[in-house]
Amino acid sequence: MNEQATQGEKLSSSTGGGVPLTYVIALVPVASVLNVIGGTVAGALKLPIFLDMIGTAVVAMTIGPWWGALVGVITNLTMGFLTGPVSIPFAACNVVGALVWGYGTRWGFANDKLRFFGLSVASAVFVSLMAAPIVIFVFGGATGHASDVLTAGLLAAGNDMWAAVFSSNIIVSSADKILSSFLALAIIGALPTNLQVTGPIMKAENMGTAVLITAGTVVGVILTVVSMNL
């Protein structure tokens, strides 16, 4: 029977048991919705960050980088269907983030706190490197986000467009990706352990500590940007 063939399809899991393909097919759209809802939450709570890659991080770290990339593409494609095509180019950022989180986990960067922090910072840097050209070439340097005020300030301080957009993006992105990574850890903690296909992942950190780590990193990035402008 065909049904039996479908039930037999499983992804091998590093923690044993395997993951039914239907679970993955159900997780991907829910993770995409979590990305969209993360953006809604950030907007509703007036947070100057995006929170639109939490679902991508969850899937990339558990099932694999390319499944995470699929979540990213579906998220931005769906947002394209809902709010117009402006969000579609940023699918590339979601894909880059998924690859960093996924391969990072596969190479053992999600095993302990320090390496996980490094993985979060790496995802912020790579996503910003991807986002800056999109913001400049497609949107002329502005996307209507509050971080445009920062870009305007940096331009007024005498920076060129590339430096201003990348600097404002990395400040927001570092806060966003570190917080998203720790929120993703909390969600992964609530998922079945057999879902960890990519490799073992550390236990979720206390979110108070995560917020402190994020704040510290953002202050560090701001000081770096300011010192480079002096």
Residue-level length of the chain:
230
Which of 118, 207, 209, 216 lies at the binding interface for another protein (CB under 8 A)?
A: 207
x/- mask, another protein, residues 159-178, rule CB under 8 A, reads -xx-----------------
Is residue 107 at the binding interface for another protein, with CB under 8 A as the rule?
A: no
Q: Are 56 and 81 in contact (CB under 8 A)?
A: no
Angle, to 10 degrees, between the axis of helix 54-62 and the axis of helix 91-106? 30
Does an H or E element contain 121, and which?
A: helix 113-139
Binding segment toward another protein, per CB under 8 A, in 31-39, 106-114, 116-124, 218-226: 31-39
Nearer to another protein, 74 or 127 (CB): 74
Of the candidate residues 15, 18, 122, 139, the single one contacting another protein (CB under 8 A): 139
CB of 161 to another protein, least distance (A): 6
Among the listed residues 11, 15, 77, 229, the single contact to another protein using CB under 8 A: 77
Q: Is 27 in the site for another protein (CB under 8 A)?
A: yes
Sign of CA dihedral 28, 30, 31, 33: positive
Measuring CA to CA, which residue among 77, 63, 72 is closest to residue 24? 63
114 binds another protein (CB under 8 A): no
Residue 16, Cβ neighbours under 10 Å: how many? 9
R_g of the chain, CA atoms, integer Å: 18
Evaluate whether 33 touches 58 at the Cβ level (below 8 Å): no
- Binding residue for another protein (CB under 8 A) from 91, 171, 183, 185? 183
- Minimum CB distance to another protein, residue 108 (Å): 25
Quote the least distance from Cβ 103 to another protein, whole Å: 22
Q: What is the DSSP letter of 160?
A: -
